[in-house]
């Protein structure tokens, strides 16, 4: 597996990194992808342990991303992952793998199969593929936080 990233970024630092990576990608014409997973389904497992359970999930996912990737909690039930130099296709593969890892961990923690869909949003540069762009995501997210 090699060297793994050991830090989970604060929301502010993560959003700053997303912005910086987008600028770098635009300047050098390289790929960058952003995935936001909605892990709100953990509310169905244990109401008492929601936030500790989410922190466990984020820590678990953190072990499986590259050292150049960044991860952060965005609000109470969303996990943001930034994949520099990663195409949309690569991010789709990573999101499927990470979703399966989360389901596996939640199944183990719950003691029964966790078969719920983990919703996600994905944006890539330069290929938006009909979805919103990373810049749109940042603008929308900033507006949500102001309200």
Partners of 71 in the β-ladder: 81
* Model confidence pLDDT, tens digit, residues 115-129: 888 999 999 988 755
What letter would DSSP give residue 126? S
| Mean pLDDT value across residues 5-29 | 88
What is the model's pTM?
Answer: 0.85
Give dist(CA 83, CA 89) in Å, integer. Answer: 12
Give dist(CA 81, CA 91) in Å, integer. Answer: 10
Model pLDDT, residue 127: 75
Largest CA distance in the chain: 48
* Model confidence pLDDT, tens digit, residues 137-146: 888 877 776 6
Give the number of other Cβ atoms within 10 Å of residue 30's Cβ. Answer: 15
Contact yes or no for 118/101 (Cβ under 8 A)? no
* Structural domains of the chain sorted by starting position, each given as residue range(s) with its CATH number in brackets: 11-146 (3.30.70.270)
Model pLDDT, residue 128: 59
Model pLDDT, residue 130: 46
pLDDT over threshold 60, residue 65: yes
Closest by Cα among 74, 76, 87 to 51: 76
């Amino acid at each position: 597996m090699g060297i793994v990233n050991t830090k989970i970024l604060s929301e502010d630092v993560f959003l700053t990194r997303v912005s910086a990576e987008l600028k770098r990608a635009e300047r050098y014409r390289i790929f960058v992808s952003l995935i936001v997973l909605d892990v709100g389904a953990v509310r169905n497992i244990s109401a008492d342990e929601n936030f500790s359970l989410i922190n466990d999930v984020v820590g678990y996912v953190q072990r499986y991303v590259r050292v150049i990737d960044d991860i952060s909690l965005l609000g109470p039930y969303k996990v943001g992952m930034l994949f520099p130099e990663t195409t949309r296709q690569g991010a789709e593969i990573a999101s499927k793998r990470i979703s399966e890892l989360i389901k596996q961990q939640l199944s183990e923690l719950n003691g029964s199969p966790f078969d719920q869909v983990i919703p996600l949003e994905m944006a890539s540069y330069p290929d938006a593929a009909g979805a919103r762009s990373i810049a749109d995501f940042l603008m929308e997210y900033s507006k949500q936080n102001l309200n």
